[in-house]
Every structure is written in structure tokens, then in C-alpha cells.
Amino acid sequence: MREFGRVLVKYNMVERKIFDFGVGEKLYPSEIHTLSAVDQLGACGVTELARESGVTKGATSQLVTKLVKKGLLVKESDPENGSKVVLRLTELGKEASDNHYKFHLDHDREFIDYLRSMSEEELEMFDGICSKMNDWMDGYLK
């Protein structure tokens, strides 16, 4: 458990660090991951984005406001339902998301190769451990 504790401490440190994804705005992990989620989902609402990200609608709304101010996201009326707002990446937001993807391909290559070397059974066990850790962490958030 000591090694796992060190991983959690380092992860917490990474979550507080700002990164440059080549668009003139430094971004926190929560911000770039929000952009990446919008990139994957396409035009989406705050509720859908919050569900995808696993955070509250309030927290998602605050992140969206910051990203709109930074010129990385836009809010538009949904053409199919005028009372609904949809989120879209700006050109700059798309560039940041693409650069984030490239960053992980390069930075995480060694760990991804390690995961690829695992057998199907080992991957299933790893996935099960991650699922249990996720449930365990939920207990701290109640």
C-alpha cells in the first residue's frame, strides 16, 4: 500500500500543475481533459459533459466558463432545441486537444507498451483493481 500511496500523492501533484499545449494558454489537467471530452463527444451539453467526466454539473459549468473566457470553447444554441446550449471547441480548443493527445502518445509510450505486454488475464485483473479503487475513492467523496 505504501507504493500506491506514493502514486496517489504524485497524481494529486500532477492535477495541480499547469501545462502548455502550444496554444498560448496554460491549462490544468481538468481543463485540458474537459476539452478532450468535448472533442470526443462532439457538440454536447453541460449535463452530458459532466456525466462523461465524472464530475458534478456545477464543477463542469465552472470549467466551461473558464474555457470560454480563454477562447477554447464556445456556447451555442442547439439548432434542434433552442432552449438548450451546446458546447463546441474553438479552433484553438481543437488544437489544444490534439496537442494533448500527441503529448500522451509520446509521454506515456513506455507505460502503454507495458500494458500492451500484459496478458488478457492480467489486463482483466488490472481493470478489476482499478474498478475497486474507483469505488473505494467514491467512499471518500460522500
Identify whether 134 is part of a domain. Answer: no
In a domain, 124, yes or no: no
Alpha-carbon gap, residue 69 to 63, rounded angstroms: 10
Q: How confident is the model at residue 65 (pLDDT cuts 50, 70, 90)?
A: very high
Residue 39 in any domain: the answer is yes
- Provide the domain count of the chain: 1
Instruction: Tell me, yes or no, whether 26 lies in a domain.
Output: yes
Q: What are phi and psi of 37, to 5 degrees?
A: -65, -45
Please give the Cα distance from 46 to 141 (Å, whole number): 21
Give the mean model confidence (pLDDT) for residues 94-112: 95
Tell me, yes or no, whether 130 lies in a domain.
no
In a domain, 117, yes or no: no
Q: CB of 27 within 8 A of CB of 73?
A: no
Q: What rounded mean pLDDT belongs to the chain?
A: 94
Q: Which residues, including other chains, have CB under 8 Å from residue 111's CB and lie 6 or more apart?
A: none
Query: Residue 20's domain spans which residues?
Result: 2-107
Per-residue pLDDT tens digits for 1-40: 899 899 999 999 999 999 999 999 999 999 999 999 999 9
CATH code of the domain containing 84:
1.10.10.10
Put simply, whether the predicted model's pTM sits higher than 0.75 gets the answer yes
Question: 142 lies in a domain?
Answer: no
Q: Quick one: pLDDT at residue 88?
A: 96
The percent of residues above 70 in pLDDT, for the chain, comes to 100
Residue 112 lies in a domain: no
